[in-house]
């Protein structure tokens, strides 16, 4: 018997088994399981565990894919070695915050930002791609 015939027969058997399963009522399935000596609570716990593990695996895979997608984008936009003057950084950042209302900023203890805070904020916005250092943020 050829491999393709074997695969076709297995597929037909699988389809017939699924059709049979779909027309069987819950009560009939329950009765068959009891007759076969199955512990339904144990089976339910195993299915629950398998479903949770599968869902967790999918979520882990999605997280790895997201991390992989994020790494190259940060590498594409390195922090500039030469920054504009601190006054120009303030103008660029304030202009960005006025033009893009989705951005927000919290000051520590309601105090002013230090020069290093402004530089760090500028660097972060460049890294995120919100500011293009080549066009001076304009």
pLDDT recorded at residue 109: 64
Range of the domain at 52: 3-74
Distance of CA 14 to the CA centre of its chain: 34
Nearest 5 degrees, angle CA 104-CA 108-CA 111? 105
Q: pLDDT 10s digit of each residue in the chain, 138 long?
A: 789 999 999 999 999 999 999 999 999 989 999 999 999 899 999 999 999 999 999 999 999 888 877 765 545 556 666 888 889 988 888 888 888 877 777 666 666 778 888 888 888 888 887 888 776 644
66-74's contacts with Cβ under 8 Å and 24+ in sequence apart are 73/129, 74/127
- The pLDDT value given to residue 78: 60
Q: What is the pLDDT of residue 137?
A: 47
Number of domains in the chain: 2
13 lies in the same domain as 65: yes
29, 54, 74 - which closes a domain: 74
pLDDT on residue 82 = 81
Same-domain pairing of 47 and 99: no
Last residue of a domain, one of 43, 59, 74: 74
Clarify whether residues 86 and 112 are in a common domain: yes
* 36 and 18 housed in the same domain: yes
């Amino acid at each position: 018997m050829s491999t393709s015939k074997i695969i076709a027969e297995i597929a037909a058997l699988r389809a017939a088994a699924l059709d049979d399963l779909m027309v069987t009522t819950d009560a009939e399935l329950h009765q068959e399981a009891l007759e076969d000596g199955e512990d339904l609570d144990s089976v339910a716990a195993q299915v629950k565990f398998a479903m949770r593990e599968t869902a967790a695996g999918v979520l882990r895979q999605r997280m790895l894919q997201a991390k992989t997608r994020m790494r190259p984008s940060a590498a594409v936009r390195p922090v500039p070695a030469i920054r504009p003057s601190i006054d120009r950084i303030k103008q660029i950042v304030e202009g960005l915050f006025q033009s893009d209302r989705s951005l927000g900023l919290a000051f520590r203890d309601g105090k002013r930002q230090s020069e290093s805070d402004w530089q760090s904020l500028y660097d972060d916005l460049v890294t995120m791609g919100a500011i293009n250092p080549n066009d001076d943020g304009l």
